[in-house]
Amino acid sequence: MALSSTGLRFTIIAFVSNALAFTCLILRFWSRYIQGTRIAFSDYMAAVAMVFSAATAATFIAPSFMGVLGFHLNEVDDRMLDISLQLFVPGQVLWAVANSCVKCSILSLYTRLFPRKQFCRICYAMMVLAWAYFVIVMVATFALCHPIQYNWNKKIPGSCHGEVHAYLSTGITNLVIDAFIVTLPIPTLLGLRMSLSKKLGLIAMFSLGSVICIISLLRIIWINSWDLNDLTYTLADGSNYSILEPALGIVNCCLPTLKPVIKKIARTCFPKRRQQPPNQARRQLNENKKVSDSESGAGGGGGGGSIVNPRRGEQTDGGSRATWDDDIRITNISAATHSAEDLATATDLEAGGNNAITVTRTWAVNDGRPLYIGREVDAEQQVQ
């Protein structure tokens, strides 16, 4: 039997979500390599969660290809149904292990990022609670049907009681634990001394786990409407949530560790032009000024003074020069002598009727005294 439409959709979701989780896990270990840090407990837990998440996906993908998932119970071959039920039971256990490992990975990462004693104690207590939740799922999986074999073999005499209520209880417990883990670091992040934008960015990154809470909530809503009399058909939608929750949980627990590798990839793909250090650029500017001053002194003949740095007063051959401050950063200055005719021309241009704004910076050197273009002073007095 071919894949049903819901089975095909589930298969695509399973492959894409687990591929994304595996990619984030590889980038996580690459970040550790870039930083030169050893593999931590949180990294191991993320890797274990990836293994069990992929195994969970496999237990649901197989019934899809066998023509079971997404078809009504009366349309399914009995032999394929028996195999699918045998896979469904371990699938629940694998799903619980994957989720518990994800929770432990996130909580262990919290203890490294926020190593306060009281905060760490809360994280360790939540780890214990996460594995207690796993035990509850194990009990709910095997203890609801009598005999136990009736879970995967419906042909033998037996019965199951309270399955929906048990799954609802475990689902709600899972949602409460996830919500608590997501909100746990928020008070600490709010107390950090940093800009509001950086603080909000960190809170947003750590709050991505709220997506997992939404998936858990949707899974609870689905369980409440789950029809066990048509198990193979109604299980398809719930399988999507069961696959997305651990896979996206792995993505969520890896994201805070990916900054080093993201920076490396960004530098490789978008290299920046190398800029001169400020001190080197300043020394180059002073050298250019000295060259310009020497050329002006050799060819101009008048005044005998030279400007080395117009931002600070210095002793020169032509006398001392007053010190003045300039708020506009000077990037290039060419010092030269100017005649009264040049000054008058510059003044006329300054008073012109052009719409554009032109800023002209010129120094006339005579005894080291700076002259500004546009001053209403007689040119002959300036020369004197």
Residue 207 has pLDDT above 90, yes or no: no
Same structural domain, 285 and 316: yes
Number of CB atoms found within 10 A of residue 126's CB: 18
Average pLDDT over residues 95-120: 92
Same structural domain, 257 and 342: no
Same structural domain, 94 and 52: yes
Give tens-digit pLDDT for 187-203.
Answer: 888 887 778 888 888 88
Average pLDDT over residues 305-309: 44
Q: How far is CA 80 from CA 2, 69, 346, in A?
A: 13, 10, 95
Same structural domain, 136 and 250: yes
CATH number reported for the structural domain that contains residue 78 in this entry: 1.20.1070
How many angstroms separate the CA atoms of 182 and 366, rounded? 73
Predicted confidence at residue 70, as pLDDT, reads 80
- Among residues 236, 251, 269, which one ends one of the domains? 269
Give the model's confidence band at 286: pLDDT under 50 very low, under 70 low, under 90 confident, else very high. Answer: low
Nearest to 88, CA basis, from 152, 174, 44, 146: 152
Predicted confidence at residue 292, as pLDDT, reads 54
pTM over 0.75: no
Residue 354 has pLDDT above 50, yes or no: no
How many angstroms separate the CA atoms of 295 and 334, rounded? 10
Residue 383 has pLDDT above 50, yes or no: no
Helix, strand, coil percentages for the chain (3-state, nearest 5): 70, 5, 30
**Average pLDDT across the chain, whole number:** 76
Average pLDDT over residues 326-350: 44
Domain count, the chain: 2
Predicted confidence at residue 281, as pLDDT, reads 56
Q: Which of 34-48, 132-146, 192-206, 355-369 has the highest mean pLDDT?
A: 34-48
Same structural domain, 352 and 248: no
Domain that holds residue 87: 5-269
Give tens-digit pLDDT for 81-90.
Answer: 888 888 888 8
Average pLDDT over residues 212-224: 89
Nearest to 48, CA basis, from 123, 126, 131: 131
- Among residues 214, 241, 269, which one ends one of the domains? 269
Q: How far is CA 176 from CA 140, 202, 206, in A?
A: 18, 22, 17
Give tens-digit pLDDT for 222-250.
Answer: 888 887 777 888 887 888 888 999 999 99
Same structural domain, 89 and 49: yes
- Judge whether 171 and 226 are in contact, CB under 8 Å: no
Same structural domain, 237 and 108: yes
Give the model's confidence band at 123: pLDDT under 50 very low, under 70 low, under 90 confident, else very high. Answer: very high
HSE, side-chain direction, 13 A CA sphere, residue 94:
19
Between 155 and 244, the higher pLDDT residue: 244
